[in-house]
Amino acid sequence: MRLKLILVLIPLFIALAASTVAAQKAPSSQPAAVDPVQPALAPNIEAWRQLGFGMFIHWGLYSELGGVWQGKPVTKGYSEQIQSFANIARADYAKVAERFDAAKFDADAICALARDAGARYILVTSKHHDGFAMFDTKSTDYNIVKRTPFGKDPLKLLSTACRKIGLGFGVYFSLVDWHAGHAFDPDNNNPIPASMEPLIEKQLRELMTNYGTITEVWFDMSSPTPEQSRKFAAIVRELQPQAVINGRIWNNVGDFVALGDNEAPPPGLQPPFEVPASIYHDTWGYRSWQKREDAEGKTRELVHGLVEARAHGGSYLLNIGPMGDGSVVPFEAQVLRGIGAWLRAHPQALDVGAATMPSKAVVAAPNGSIRIARGEWSAGTSFGFRNGYSTQYQTTVVLSAAVSSPTARTVMLHFEGGRSPASARYRVAVGGQVRDQGEAQGLSNDLGPFTLPAAQTVALTIRLARPAFPADDLGLDFDAVQLLPVSTRKESTP
């Protein structure tokens, strides 16, 4: 690979995302419009967010098939789901395990590659939709230790290798299980019958017990009930309280939002979120007939995605799909090393960014009051989920404005025509000053006091004080927000 060419060309492709980071650090003739009070994330979520870049690994029986069944490429769908898309019977698919010897699997080499790429943790498929457990489990003999010539536990090997070199370790776990009884569904939206819950619970407990400290647990697909989502998350939180749980456990039970496959963060998206990205958008599992060309172009594309995610305050999870023999595809290794070379030259690119605020300030009236109509606020958004992939809906998690007063003033905040759920409590920040709405304090009561400095533009934000899920919607509506000088407010009181 011509690394010098990469180092020259990549910045041209990431200018837009990198400018966001630069704007947060460079002085400007206009007031900096960055929210000084970030969401109050739990310490484990913030620690994970600071890591920011992980390597995803999709490896299983499907890797041995390489996207081919009965001598023909299966061109429909992702190759890790070949059992479904080729309509392979369970008995026939299970026979693949007999030749799955993974003779070239090297956990130390895979973890070293992740480190060389600049990743700070790895996340490996412990069980995909095919239900084949890629770890030593007592819940079923349908696993890599008991059914394959390889006969070892790759999760144990990978977790040990990660600890040796200081990488975090996480697991992917599918809530769809074709071997345990789920039917093929092109949308993978299967409900979880009560009869399947003990298997899921036992496997989760094994995963959370036998592999040391877990950084992240990545659930995927299915259509669990809210009770099931809470039950599965509780197992993780009981046994691995520092681990973060992705939003695909559904029903707004997770710790962060997982965007759609290879989805770029939309404007205004608020952290915490993670971008799951694959080197080839057509598959995550190994595909023998995949076109692999232009490693330099692919490196530029993925660096752009990484920098864009970090500039927005999110994390980036980049997938590789090792071959059936356990070795990493040379093209993928080349691309990862190219990313690592660029990051070593630009280490600040992994710094976590923050959401920007409006640059145009609402200026105080002659009497010192400031009125911000509903349409003048900027919305910071995220996504909530009910019980599956197709249930995504947009949420507003923060409202932001910028305000300025020619002279220093002490003000109270007043909602004009405020409407919200009775249980909602809000956190208002003016500059670095934070006030939480009290339990008995409705929107009709003023909030404050806040001090406005003279002739400076400061950020004004409204969030939920204690969201149950980081992407919970504010549920807030109003005609306008007023900042009223304390003296004016007292004079207007009968």
Per-residue pLDDT, 39: 53
The pair phi, psi for residue 481, each rounded to 5°, is: -115, 135
CATH number at residue 272: 3.20.20.80
pLDDT in tens, 276-295: 999 999 999 999 999 999 99
Domain match, 150 and 82 both: yes
- The pLDDT confidence band at residue 439, using thresholds 50, 70 and 90, is confident
- SS3 for 481? strand
The DSSP annotation for 246-299 comes to BGGG-TT-SSBEEPSTTPPPPTTBPSSEEEEEESBTTBSS--TT-----HHHHH
pLDDT in tens, 21-76: 333 333 332 333 334 445 568 999 999 999 999 999 999 999 999 999 999 999 99
C-alpha of 165 from chain center:
24
Q: Which of 294, 326, 350 is the last residue of a domain?
A: 350
Domain match, 340 and 378 both: no
Q: Judge contact between 139 and 209, C-beta under 8 A.
A: no
Cβ neighbours, 10 Å, residue 420: 18
Question: What is the number of residues in the chain?
Answer: 494
- The pLDDT confidence band at residue 359, using thresholds 50, 70 and 90, is low
Preceding peptide of 73 cis, ω within 30°: no
| Mean pLDDT, range 348-376, rounded to an integer | 87
Residue 90 domain-assigned (yes or no): yes
More confident residue, 488 or 10: 488
Domain match, 386 and 455 both: yes
250-267: b (≥16 Cβ within 10 Å) or e: bbbbbbbbbbeeeebbee
Residue 357 domain-assigned (yes or no): no
Q: Tell me how far apart the alpha carbons of residues 182 and 127 are, in angstroms, rounded to a whole number.
A: 14
Per-residue pLDDT, 353: 83
Domain match, 159 and 268 both: yes
Residue 356 domain-assigned (yes or no): no
Total of domains in the chain: 2
CATH number at residue 390: 2.60.120.260
- What is the residue range of 230's domain? 3-350
Domain match, 16 and 84 both: yes
Q: Judge contact between 301 and 11, C-beta under 8 A.
A: no
- The answer to whether residue 17 scores a pLDDT higher than 60 is no
- The answer to whether residue 11 scores a pLDDT higher than 90 is no
What letter does residue 99 receive in the DSSP assignment?
G
Q: Which of 350, 375, 397 is the last residue of a domain?
A: 350
Nearest partner of 260 among 75, 86, 125, 385, judged by Cα? 385
Domain match, 270 and 413 both: no
Domain match, 255 and 316 both: yes
- The answer to whether residue 7 scores a pLDDT higher than 50 is no
- The pLDDT confidence band at residue 10, using thresholds 50, 70 and 90, is very low
Preceding peptide of 494 cis, ω within 30°: no
Whole-Å CA distances, 229 to 198, 214, 223, 250, 273: 14, 19, 9, 6, 19
Nearest partner of 204 among 298, 135, 283, judged by Cα? 135
User: pTM of the full predicted structure?
Assistant: 0.90
Nearest partner of 480 among 405, 391, 371, judged by Cα? 371
Per-residue pLDDT, 356: 65
Per-residue pLDDT, 458: 93
Per-residue pLDDT, 358: 65
Q: Tell me how far apart the alpha carbons of residues 251 and 228 are, in angstroms, rounded to a whole number.
A: 9
- The answer to whether residue 110 scores a pLDDT higher than 60 is yes
Q: Which of 321, 350, 379 is the last residue of a domain?
A: 350
More confident residue, 360 or 114: 114
Domain match, 173 and 321 both: yes
Strand bridging mode 121-127 / 72-73:
unpaired
pLDDT in tens, 203-256: 999 999 999 999 999 999 999 999 999 999 999 999 999 999 999 999 999 999
Per-residue pLDDT, 355: 61
Q: Tell me how far apart the alpha carbons of residues 149 and 471 are, in angstroms, rounded to a whole number.
A: 45
Per-residue pLDDT, 197: 98
Domain match, 391 and 284 both: no
- The answer to whether residue 19 scores a pLDDT higher than 90 is no
